Structure 1
Amino acid sequence: MAEACAAQVDSDQETPAAVATGEQVSDVALDFGEESMPASSVLLRLASPVFNRMLESDMKEAQQKVIKVDVAVATKQDFQVFYALLGPGAWSTDKVTEDSVDGLLSISDYYQVDFIKEACLKKLANLPVTAQRFVQANKHGLKRQRDRCLHELARRGGEEELVMLHTANSDLLLEVALKKQKLFKNFERNVPAF
């Protein structure tokens, strides 16, 4: 009797069908110049208003089924990390790491993928301030991160950071110098005279 019940249970449970692979649902190619990768237009359109506009029926990307990705925005490797986060059940803020945050921020900012950009902002808030982070915050319009970097560079920025700012963006260097001067004046007012 028990064997008959066990056999009945086994026959009632069907083997689940295999889920679609990335290749099966890919209907566009992302062109990185010398490299390309297949992608699903549905995933891209659901995640990004920029991709959604590109893939409307009257746009050349929709007609040609090819989307050029500016290498200044993303390398193929960075885009693979980004794209992997768009799949069903793939998203987790833990997947935005110190190693991936720069590429993910660039891509999510350019393609307006807010949930990934927000995760990048949270990760950046916990990373050390550097001149590069200040330039990055300025470039991507990250007000809180920019203010944090400005304040910390004015307080503790060393020669290396100041030289990097001079090379990258002299306006940002001036801003740090002025903030440093303001902090010093505030300090002088609070120090008793001898």
Structure 2
Amino acid sequence: MSSEMEVNNEFGGETGQSDLTLVVEDHKIPVLKAVLCIASPVFRAMLESDFQEKSKREIPLPGKSYEDFVEFLKCIYPDKMKKITEKNAYKLLPLAHEYEVKKMEKRCQKVLIQAVRNSHMKNVMELYRHIHMSETYRLEELKKICIYLASEHNLEQFKVARQTYQISDASHYMIIELALRRHELDKQDEGCLSLKTEDGKEQRGFLRYDDIVKFSLTGKVNLNESDTARTLRALRLSERFKITTNETDVKSRMIRKLQNDSTKTPDNDPHKEEFDLLPERIKIALKNK
């Protein structure tokens, strides 16, 4: 190895306790085998089993970014334990997956889910990017959330995004299927929405009578009754058309009612699909009990 390589001593080299040197790009990183073996089953197999690396004092890691690998080490070393954030999660995830650091993978997934909810719910291209990422690294929760979010958009956006990010056929077709089901629910909901015209323009809104939110002459939601389907419809309509009433807490009351219903909803419940197809911001509110 070239004597001109820079040495990073912050992982055991400074104290002279290191018993292994990793070579990443043009840097040498003295490390402790024990730390690597505790954190990673892959390193443990490499350093403790009958692999050629077991007897080596220096192991090259080709194809790795020095900057990213140092970040990885900072997150597994017990005296550092750097926090995983949106800024470093994208760099850490490939390394956590390769070296099977499961806790780091789970933390990265949690951070990326929050990033999607904070910044990317309306961006189909970003949603497809995260679906592609979740398929590469087997992040099932992230994939499901992004698929449902993507299905809130339109077919043309799906086509454009897929030209950039080649997600699996199964995920792509699921997005389209969910989008069609949302469209069907929208059509059903519209049949229960009060309509009135004024100056030649159609207006949509709630009519408020005591504890009843009324959508049409034939369909109404009573907040004191136990009809989950009607409450789900009321929430979808209020979110879709940004409908408000004279009483500002109507939506929060409907959410509280559904929170009680959702805790009793088994997988085979007829309302499970409608719960799953609620807008993401409503599902987040339902979880925040």
Shorter chain as normaliser: what TM range?
0.7 to 0.9
Measured in 2, the distance between the counterparts of 1:68 and 1:157 equals: 47
Is the partner of 2:29 in helix, strand or coil?
strand
Partner of 1:125: 113
Question: How far, CA to CA, are the matches of 1:182 and 1:160 in structure 2?
Answer: 17
Give the greater-gyration-radius structure (CA).
2
Q: Percent identity at matched positions?
A: 22
Counterparts of 1:137 and 1:110, CA distance in 2: 14
DSSP 3-state at the match of 1:156:
coil
1:46 Cα offset (Å): 0.9
Q: Give me the TM-score of the superposition, normalised by structure 1.
A: 0.74
Residue 63 (str. 1) matches residue 60 (str. 2): no
Q: CA deviation at 1:186?
A: 2.5
Are residues 1:52 and 2:44 paired? yes
Please report how far the alpha carbon of residue 48 of structure 1 lies from its aligned counterpart in structure 2 after TM superposition. 0.7
Report the counterpart of residue 78 of structure 1 in structure 2. 68
**Could you say which residue in structure 2 is the equivalent of 1:38?**
30
Q: TM-score, normalised by structure 2?
A: 0.52
> Where do 5+ consecutive residues of structure 2 fail to align?
1-9, 121-125, 196-289
In terms of fraction of residues, the more helix-rich structure is 1
The aligned length equals 171
Amino acid paired to 1:29? T
Q: Distance in 2 between matches of 1:161 and 1:68?
A: 42
Please say if residues 155 and 176 of structure 2, whose CA atoms lie closer than 8 Å, have aligned partners that are also in contact. no
How far 1:169 sits from its partner (Å)? 1.3
2:12 aligned with 1:22, yes or no? yes
CA contact (8 A) 1:36 1:76 kept: no
In the other structure, the counterpart of 2:185 is 186
Contact 1:125 1:145 in 2 (8 A): yes
Assess if the C-alpha contact under 8 Å between 1:57 and 1:63 holds in 2: no
CA contact (8 A) 1:43 1:87 kept: yes
1:108 Cα deviation from its structure 2 partner: 1.2
Across the aligned residues of Structure 1 and Structure 2, the Cα RMSD in angstroms comes to 2.8
Structure 1 residue 185: deviation in Å? 2.2
Distance 1:41 1:162, change over 3 A: farther
Could you tell me how far 1:132 is from its partner in structure 2? 1.4
| Aligned counterparts, 1:83-162, within 5 A | 83-91=73-81, 95-128=83-116, 129=120, 130=126, 131-156=128-153, 162=159
Q: Distance in 2 between matches of 1:157 and 1:165?
A: 13
Q: What is the distance in 1 between the residues matched to 2:182 and 2:77?
A: 47
Unaligned runs of 5+ in 1: 1-19
Compared with structure 1, are the counterparts of its residues 36 and 180 closer, same or farther at alpha carbon in structure 2 (3 Å cutoff)?
A: farther
Q: Quote the offset at 1:121 in angstroms.
A: 2.0
- Could you report, residue by residue, the CA deviation over 1:85-130 in whole angstroms, capped at 9, with x for unpaired residues? 22233225xx111110012121112211122222212211211242
Secondary structure at the counterpart of residue 155 of structure 1: coil
CA 1:57 to 1:66, structure 2 compared with 1: closer, same or farther past 3 Å?
Answer: farther
Structure 2 SS opposite 1:37: strand
